[in-house]
Amino acid sequence: MKKTFLTQLLFFLIILFKQISNAFPQSGIYKSWQDYKNAKISNSINCKSSSDNIKLNHIISTSYIEISQSGKSIRFKKDSIFGYKDCNQKDFRFYKRKEYEILESKSLIIYSTYTRDYSSTGKTFLLKSEYFFSVDLNAPVLSLSLLNLKKATLENLKFHDSLDIEFGNGSPLNSIDNKQNMFKINSLLTKSLNLN
């Protein structure tokens, strides 16, 4: 009887611990695109701790990131890992030492990054969003343009026609299809592949 009670208590504590650990947001790195796809975070940090963080080293060096965990730091070369998840639960991919926020991972992977947009006097600047895509998680990151989309999907003429109809008049390629709850280009590609 006593053994049964201890077993049940242990089982209850394990379930409680899992629920508590799932309640805190996880942040850390994705060592590979497969890890990102499987939501497998390595070197996770405690977002509630002031000593745990991810330093991107934009100013000092663009070649590595640094993970601080409980007072210990580990460096990773950006070109040796896929990306990371920040404490705001946003995912990022590294490509050629630059970081891209992953906005959508469907038929096409859609990314954004911020670039400087200088004023007419050239003295001040604002950050503006630029959009990119890749055909899969392991493919090169390309600027989001009609020409690049068509080059990346050469055989899919139905998709090319849909792009011309939807965006040929200069409509922004980062438009959202609210009905499908995804980027319009992904919605069009999905329809052209008869995946919907």
- Among residues 69, 71, 78, 15, which one has the least CA distance to residue 47? 69
Question: CB-based burial of residue 127 (10 Å sphere; 0-12 exposed, 13-18 middle, 19+ buried)?
Answer: exposed
Chain centre to alpha carbon of residue 189: 20
Q: For 13-59, write each residue's pLDDT tens digit.
A: 566 555 544 455 689 999 999 999 999 999 888 888 878 888 887 66
Q: For 117-158, write each residue's pLDDT tens digit.
A: 777 776 777 788 999 999 999 999 999 999 999 999 999 999
- Give the whole-angstrom CA distance, residue 28 versus residue 42: 6
The pLDDT value given to residue 196:
46
- Give the whole-angstrom CA distance, residue 147 versus residue 163: 10
Judged by DSSP in three states, 187 sits in helix
- In the sheet that 53-55 helps form, which strands lie side by side, from edge to edge? 53-55, 64-69, 72-77
- Give the whole-angstrom CA distance, residue 25 versus residue 49: 12
Query: How much is the pTM?
Result: 0.80
